[in-house]
A and B are shown apart, each in its own frame.
Chain A
Amino acid sequence: MTPRLTFVLVSYGGRELVVTCLKKLAEHTPAPYDVVVVDSASPDGTGEWLAENLSGELLAGSTRCLSATVLRMPENLGFGAGCNLGVQHARTELVCFLNADVEVRDGWLEPLLSFLDSRADVGAVAPVMLNTDGSVQESGSLIGGDGWCRAWEDASFPREVDYASAACLIVRRKAFLQTGGFSPEYEIAYFEDVDLQLALRARGWQTWVIPESTVDHARHGSSSSERANELMRLNHGVFQRRWADELAKRPAVTSLDEWPHRALWLRDRNAPYRVLLIDDRVPQADRGRGDPRTAAVVDSWIEGHPNARVTFFAVSAERVEEYAPRWHAKGVEIVHGVTDLEAWSRSRAGLYDVIVAFRPHNYANYGVPIARSQPQAIRVYDSEALFHRRPEQHFEHSVDSAERRHHAIEAARLREEEQSAFRWADVAVCVSEEEAEWARRVAPETPAHVACYPIVTPDDVPGVEGRQGIVFFGGFDNTPRTPNEFAVLELAEDVLPGLRLRHPGLTLRVVGADPSPNVLALHGGLNEVVGRVPDPRPWLSSARLHVVPMRFGAGVKIKFVDSMSAGLPFVTTPVGAEGLHLGAYARHLVGESPAEMVELCDRMLRDDELWSDVQQEMLRICREHFSEDGFRRSMAKVLLDCGICPVPR
């Protein structure tokens, strides 16, 4: 195989370090590569020794040879000049500058190459540098207006950086040459790599740090600290002079301790926009409770621009360890466990372009306080559903006067809170046109968009043949008296008995996360409580009918969208059918009383022709109203109203 990558090492003494570094490289780098070692006139004979010994010695326990092209400079011109000379002898698409005191780890290279291959606009990538004790030494660095740099130690997600140390940095050779390479204006070492990456950015190339890749770095392995400080001081002056205009736009690194928010300004200054999304928990896309929709909304903010800084503020740390990594991989910063909200907000003062608060309680408890430190941010309220409608429904169904009073008070409180949220917002997002109409009435100044839920509807879904039984799909939170618990209990107690009289042996499967004790008690006989499944589609694709006698709830219930996309007709109540665009087909699918539902279910179980007709209509509705394209277009309008023009796909 032809190598894609040339490692360029510059040595000045320390031949043992070079050999150890190359051995580690051979051990942990399965892909073919070239090595160029440039000896910067080592006074201890290192250059001579390397020239004699790096010529094909077979590594113990390996099929690899310790071979390198060794170039010897007549005088010590330093790191930049050495690297420039090394690159001049490289023939590969990529070059990796590697310090001899860096030891690569297993699997370090593949994530870096994959990222470069996926992003043509990225000119350089770096791993996270670890100290010898395993702690993070540097996950990219900030460049301050005073010309000093500060290492960033949060390595939880990949991000574009001001600069990453050339102790281990992979650069596209053509990008490197476009800048002219390391500037010869610098002495021996330090700051020439900072300079290079600013020069790359000036030519449209980005530098990223990829936390999936890590290497160990024993700092100052080949230079004494005293000498290092002297060189730093000298080169700092050169750097300040060369980049005066760029530095003038930045806060000083020395001011970061007094003004911590400036560190985040520096961290995110290259992002085209910075958005903070506030919701109950890290979206768990394989769960119910609106999480899949929240996940889709977050994805839209990510897709708006590949370099956007998307920060997700999770009020609860629920399953954060389990779900955060997949968001980190998409470049999302996850914040959770904030105890002092005011201090946290101030630590990010003025950072965000947009704040999105999901659901009324998060608006009131977090959106408003956080927005005080972000007066410049455009405020978005994503209602997810109109929450005051649920206590209103309870009020209507309740017979106990104390309960009715409680629900009335709760409905009024929530209504007021939601009105306030829509008026607070500069832009509003609802899941159905009906809810958006309500929002426009209470907050006429706020543009209200409808972005429901995107789903991929396959071209082919199983027809009626082979489908059996009925299914109930919905999450339960392991909590009594949730809308889904009410619904499944009504199904089991009031609908199924009548239905089984007409269809003996009719099975029921209850699919959904965290069933409550009352739900678990249904298990047995013809009823199976399946619980949580990784993907509901197989269950929805094999059932004959989805039945949910839903009395409480607001907004579009995602379970029905999932059902429609799987080609599974459902029977539900007017509350369940809200926002689903059923049109004339509602007469086959929507019933009020249990008796009505028995009738509707009976027809759908008996009449194959009607069932097939309904299935086709469901698929059509899905493609028209719940497509990924439609959702993307809706979210693009939200972003545009926030002053952000999403990058065309």
Chain B
Amino acid sequence: MREPTSRTIGAFAVWTSSDLPGFGDQLIARLTERELLRRLPGWRATWYAPLGWTRPIPEDGGYVAAPLRDHSSERIEQIAASADASVLAPAFPLGAARADWPYPDGTAHSYFTEGLDPDAERTHPLISSCVRIADEPPVELVTALARQPYLTVRDRRSCDRLAAAGLSGDIPVVPHPALLLDGLVDADALRTRAQHLRQLGVLPENGGVVVVQSAELPVDAVREFLAADHVVEMPSGLVLEDQLALLNAASAVIATDEHVAAASAALGKPWALFDPTGEQRWPALEFGSPKQIVDRADRITDAISAGLRFSAPSEHAKRAVSTHFDRVAAAIEQAFTARGGDLTRRIAELAEENNALRHAQWRLRDRMLVERQKLSDTLAEAWHEVADAKADAERARNELAVAQTQFRELRNEIDRLALDSRELDALRNTKLLRWSQPVREVYGKIKGS
């Protein structure tokens, strides 16, 4: 029997970049939603993204995000009304200039720079979760982030940039959410996707595989250094499941971005990060060793060598991410309460539901006992019948044995009589008897007269 689905309690929104094709764009959105729903069961999660479902892409895997649309007061009101709080979890850094904005015509740039607006955020707070901050963040962003009840970044450089821009206070640095990747796609599904990729020739049929995120890396050197059978470049256009299947099938991963590095770490794969821009290293330092990160392609084997020594993220880093999501969930609950939501009542409802379940379970158990008793009675009756039948059979067997004995004796008697009969016939056929017959008849008559 399937577990009943609970009613919706509260609602939160996740502002994602899931309408972009990047691995990190998909990964962070899905992990953020999963981790928060684990902590807020029965809540409704809505995704927003700058373009959302107006520009579906194969890489989004069918996860639908609503478009943020224009930064108008009407739209801000709609978004604020749709949930109790919004969690900002884009893969791109906040505060990038419009020229570097990954969407056409600066779509939704204002949302990720200015937030909603102070009025709307009084009842619908924004929570930035493990975000990155661009170099020289604009004052609008700093003002918007200052309003947030809980703000975390995923690298120290972002922290420093905000401090330099004038945002005071302690900003927690939380490692990449991908460290909690385990179970996002189950093992069976990963296996099936890997088989599918083999069918399509993306993965080789046999042999060890090293996955590289960029063909600019010295592939031959990597192959030789790792004695790998194949070096596979991560193709574009794949859904997250396929990309994870690819990483999962790898014996080592050479990443060019923080997200692939984090996912590889979570999967326990030896990884190295090639970071010529100097930007990807900062988040990676929160879960990896500096020796795994290089900025020159010709030093990649050194990084791989380090990666073979330090592969899995520490439990401490994983706990930090987990604790972070606990805090985000708590902040969302707080927003729910501030909007008039009653968590105490929810607890009372849960207690009531629990009592109802116990009652139903007790009634079922009661019923089960009745059924069990009926079944046992039927079984006991059957056992009696079987015992009686066995006794009958035993009696019949004994009678049969007696009858068989008698039959054998009778048979012996018949055999004996037959023998006698045969002997008598043989005697009668002797010449003495045949020839003496007339004499014996005469004798008989004389004796009888």
Contacts and interface: CB of A to CB of B under 8 A. Distances in A.
A11 interface: no
A183 B194 CA distance: 10
Interface in B158-197: 185-186, 188-193, 195-196
Contacts of A646: 4, 356
Interface in B190-211: 190-193, 195-196, 198-200
Interface in B29-79: 53-58, 60-64
A82 B371 CA distance: 50
Contacts of B57: 91
Interface in B356-404: 356-357, 359-361, 363-364, 367, 371, 374
15 contacts: A81-B199, A84-B196, A85-B200, A88-B237, A91-B56, A177-B240, A178-B186, A180-B241, A184-B198, A643-B360, A644-B360, A647-B4, A648-B6, A648-B353, A649-B7
A449 B5 CA distance: 26
B239 interface: yes
B446 interface: no
Interface residues of A, number: 52
A176 B241 CA distance: 11
B1 interface: yes
Contacts of B353: 645, 648
Interface in B75-90: none
A640 B360 CA distance: 5
A642 B356 contact: no
B53 to A, nearest CB: 6
B345 to A, nearest CB: 13
A2 interface: yes
B349 interface: yes
A648 B58 contact: no
Given A184-B192, A645-B4, A174 B367 contact: no
Given A91-B56, A177-B241, A181-B193, A640 B185 contact: no
Given A272-B4, A640-B363, 10 more contacts: A2-B56, A91-B56, A173-B61, A174-B61, A183-B195, A184-B199, A203-B186, A272-B2, A648-B7, A648-B353
Nearest to B67: A2
A181 B196 contact: yes
Contacts of A172: 62
B242 interface: yes
A88 B188 contact: no
A92 interface: yes
B238 to A, nearest CB: 8
Contacts of A644: 360
Q: Which of B196, B349, B374 has the most CB of A within 10 A?
A: B196
B52 to A, nearest CB: 9
B192 A176 contact: no
Contacts of B1: 272-273
Interface of B, secondary structure class, is helix
Contacts of B63: 174
Given A181-B193, A185-B195, A307-B2, A645 B357 contact: yes
Closest 4 CB pairs of A and B: A173-B62, A180-B192, A180-B189, A643-B364
A305 interface: yes
Contact of B185 (A85, A93, A178, A305): A178
A375 B367 CA distance: 11
B58 A88 contact: yes
A180 B193 contact: yes
Given A88-B58, A307-B2, A642 B363 contact: yes
Interface of B: 1-2, 4-7, 53-58, 60-64, 185-186, 188-193, 195-196, 198-200, 237-242, 349, 353, 356-357, 359-361, 363-364, 367, 371, 374
Nearest to B60: A91
A376 interface: yes
A179 B64 CA distance: 18
B58 A178 contact: no
A403 interface: no
Contacts of B185: 178
A178 B374 CA distance: 44
Contacts of A641: 359, 363
A94 interface: yes
Contact of A375 (B191, B363, B374): B374
A628 B363 CA distance: 25
B363 A93 contact: no
A91 B63 CA distance: 10
Interface in A172-213: 172-181, 183-185, 199, 203-204
A636 interface: yes
A93 B192 contact: no
Contact of B5 (A3, A94, A426, A647): A647
A90 interface: yes
Contact of B367 (A177, A270, A378): A378
A518 to B, nearest CB: 49
Contacts of B360: 639-640, 643-645
A176 B62 contact: yes
Nearest to A202: B188
B239 A177 contact: yes
A204 B186 CA distance: 13
Nearest to B365: A643
A179 B53 contact: no
Contacts of B64: 93
A183 B195 CA distance: 8
A89 interface: yes
A349 to B, nearest CB: 15
Nearest to A180: B192
B239 A88 contact: yes
Nearest to A203: B186
A77 interface: yes
Contacts of B54: 2
B195 A643 contact: no
Nearest to B357: A645
Nearest to A92: B56
Interface string A249-267: 0000000000000000000
A640 B196 contact: no
Contact of A91 (B58, B240, B241): B58
Contacts of B242: 88
B199 A77 contact: yes
B416 to A, nearest CB: 56
A91 B61 CA distance: 8
A93 B353 CA distance: 35
B186 A648 contact: no
Contact of B56 (A89, A93, A378): A93
Q: Which of A177, A203, A204 has the most CB of B within 10 A?
A: A177
Q: Which of B2, B53, B185, B241 has the most CB of A within 10 A?
A: B2
Contacts of A645: 4, 353, 356-357, 359-361
A171 to B, nearest CB: 9
Contacts of A177: 61-62, 189, 193, 239-241
